[in-house]
Structure 1
Amino acid sequence: MSDWRTDPTYAMCRALVNGAELSSFADGPFDVRAVAAAVRPEAKDRFLLDEVPWENFPQGDQVREAVRLLRAGGPPVPAGVGVVSGMCANDMRAAAALAVAFLIRIAADLHHPHRTVALAEVPAPARARYFGVASRAELLLHRTGPRQDDYDDYGSEVTGYPAGWSVAAARAAITADAALLLPLLHDPAPTTRIRAAYALATVTDLHGTVRTALRARFAAEPAPDVCAALLLATAEITRARPHSPTTVLLREYWQDHTRAPEVRLAAAIGWLCLTDEAAPEDLRVALDGLATDERARTMDALPWMAAVGGSGETGLQRCLRRMLHPEQPDPMEYDDPWARDADGASRP
């Protein structure tokens, strides 16, 4: 792995630390939003990876090689799997954002042996600072607006690169190729349908096309966990572009005792994220009955829940604690072997 400090963008990041204006680099060769938008459709469709200036961004050569290896589809699992999501977990998304368009095309290829693996990588660069974040204000936070001001409060990645630029580029790429992802909502594999919903939740859905597709799939979906994913994706899109009928519908779903528990739980979480209303007593009672330990483990199959769990809590448990009891502290990450009891004696 190369040292990211040798990448061309390091000079830009160093200049920013020294007081340069970020706007002075906008639309230039180190603005991943502009670079991703300039990639020719033919280059994406034919995987002309060398047309993309990966080298302009931290560890870009590594991402390009990962995409190439993943597309090759070597058995049983190709080299390159997990590189994009791993870099995002390490807070480096710029080059990963350039991979999104290519990963979508692998995922959309019905004959590719690792299409589901590629699909799992697609939304990783489109989300930032979301691991362990489970409050009403932040769980489904999804920013939209003018390109320049949209993502300013995402801060900087570990390299110093503006994280908002990476996230904006990834979401723009997913939005541009939403038509390739929408058919995956009807894939025979439930896991693929869930991952497609998770990716589509990040689009800029100006005309409600994706929200409508999610709702249509929900009406036909037999699997409760997939239904829950479709509702969370719908809520995330609605968080970006408010749609009051959707908020009303989510309330109806969690109140509907004929619905599957997973559906009611997802609807309740989505509704809580879309409204500032205090959680009503009937919602609290419903969640107390639905959120069993077994169901919490089942809900961890949803990427939203998997991302926020930890410290001995499942994602569902953390969501409900943070949303219904925000005054409660987070559990300890681990037992401190050097901690002392109340009498000052060290614990063995």
Structure 2
Amino acid sequence: MGWIETDASTPAPKRWEGWEGWAGWAGTLPEREDVRPVVAAIPRIVKDDLRYDAVPWARFDHAYGSAQDVPGLLESVRLGDAKASEGALTTLWNSLAHQGGTSTAGALAVPFLLRIAFAHPRHRASLVRLTAAVAHRMPWGDGTRGGLLRVGLPADRPRYEPAGSLANWSIEAARSAVAADAALLLHLLDDPDPEVRHAVAHASAVVPPPAPVVAAVLHGRLAVEDDPAVRASLVLAIGQLAWETREPETTATMHAWWRDAARPPEVRVSAALAWLCLTDDSIPADLDAFLDTTVTDDLVELLAVVPWLDAVEDLDKRNGLLVCLHQMHHPEDFAWFAD
């Protein structure tokens, strides 16, 4: 059946504790297939030619049931008129990344989301943001030092999707799919729309380590980027690529950047956030002094569009940077984020 053989020997989760871990019904569910080998085995020609029929959508699910409707939605986004295209995109968001979660269907869709975004600028930013969403754990407003740059879920802390699939696997599959098409994604860093460049920085930072080529491209873009908020996104993306391994060189770079008075404030502040995530050191007095004088109302508003800070912002006040700094300074009040 189709082009992929699956490994039935991998045990699948049978119980659900709620959407990616929220307490809820814990009844017995059917065994679910591991989406990781399926995504990894999609041939390049299937991706490039948008041959949806070669992908076993019916074997996987999203928030509203079978993934069989995903190819039609993708085509409506790509070729539909304005109303149909917008409606299909909204449905894809609700289905593949429902309430900030992920799905096996989302992981399968990543190669096609990226190719449609590349070829059709109409919904480019939203499609790239959707790619990042399905490749991330649900953030739940976590801007702590241990959470701001976290992408995946710990292997020993399983989280399940509503249909019973393991969210850990879906995220891993989506991240691998982004890595396989990183060159395609990174090409969009030259897009004239800053919203697209924000999204590309966020999505490219899900690539599993080591990712020296991706990091090098982000460094190169940072050197020429003229939008202050996008510069902040690029800095956080560079930091995120190093987070899982706590890569020493990047940690040292972030430390040097926030201390460098010649750099713009948005670069220094975002580097400070990244450094705090990359080290377990206590927050030094000189960093606090720097933040006190640099984090102005104008800077908070400027950085509100940065995807990492947008995920933790107070929706009424758009003050994600302030929320993030509060969480980092008072981890004792947010210990539940570590659960």
SS state at 2:143 partner: coil
1:67 correspondence with 2:67: no
Q: Deviations along 1:129-180, whole A, 9 cap, x unmatched?
A: 2131111011112459xxxxx6442411233221101101100100000010
Report if the CA contact (8 A) 2:50-2:112 is conserved: yes
Deviating more after overlay: 113-122 vs 314-323: 113-122
SS state at 2:87 partner: coil
Aligned partner of 2:260 in structure 1 is 256
Give the superposed CA RMSD.
2.5
Separation in 2 of the partners of 1:13 and 1:208? 34
Separation in 2 of the partners of 1:238 and 1:329? 24
Compute the displacement of 1:100 (Å): 0.6
Deviating more after overlay: 68-77 vs 186-195: 68-77
Report if the CA contact (8 A) 2:30-2:164 is conserved: no
Which of these residues, 38, 44, 47, is aligned with residue 41 of structure 1? 44
Compute the displacement of 1:299 (Å): 1.1
Separation in 1 of the partners of 2:44 and 2:315? 44
Q: Taking structure 1 as reference, are residues 329 and 100 closer, same or farther at Cα in structure 2, changes over 3 Å only?
A: closer
Separation in 2 of the partners of 1:244 and 1:309? 29
Separation in 2 of the partners of 1:203 and 1:191? 20
Separation in 2 of the partners of 1:224 and 1:172? 30
Q: What is the TM-score when the length of structure 1 is the normalising length? A: 0.80
Structure having greater relative contact order (Cα 8 Å, sep ≥ 6): 2
Separation in 2 of the partners of 1:172 and 1:164? 12
SS state at 1:82 partner: helix
The residue type paired with residue 261 of structure 1 is: P
Separation in 1 of the partners of 2:177 and 2:134? 10
1:317 correspondence with 2:326: no
Aligned partner of 1:272 in structure 2 is 276
Compute the displacement of 1:324 (Å): 1.4
Separation in 2 of the partners of 1:165 and 1:80? 26
How many residues in Structure 1 have an aligned counterpart in Structure 2? 307
Separation in 1 of the partners of 2:40 and 2:191? 28
Separation in 2 of the partners of 1:174 and 1:305? 22
Separation in 2 of the partners of 1:182 and 1:216? 11
Separation in 2 of the partners of 1:19 and 1:328? 35
Report if the CA contact (8 A) 1:104-1:119 is conserved: yes
Q: What is the TM-score when the length of structure 2 is the normalising length? A: 0.82
Report the identity percentage: 36
Compute the displacement of 1:15 (Å): 6.9
Report if the CA contact (8 A) 2:175-2:208 is conserved: yes
Compute the displacement of 1:21 (Å): 11
Separation in 2 of the partners of 1:293 and 1:51? 51
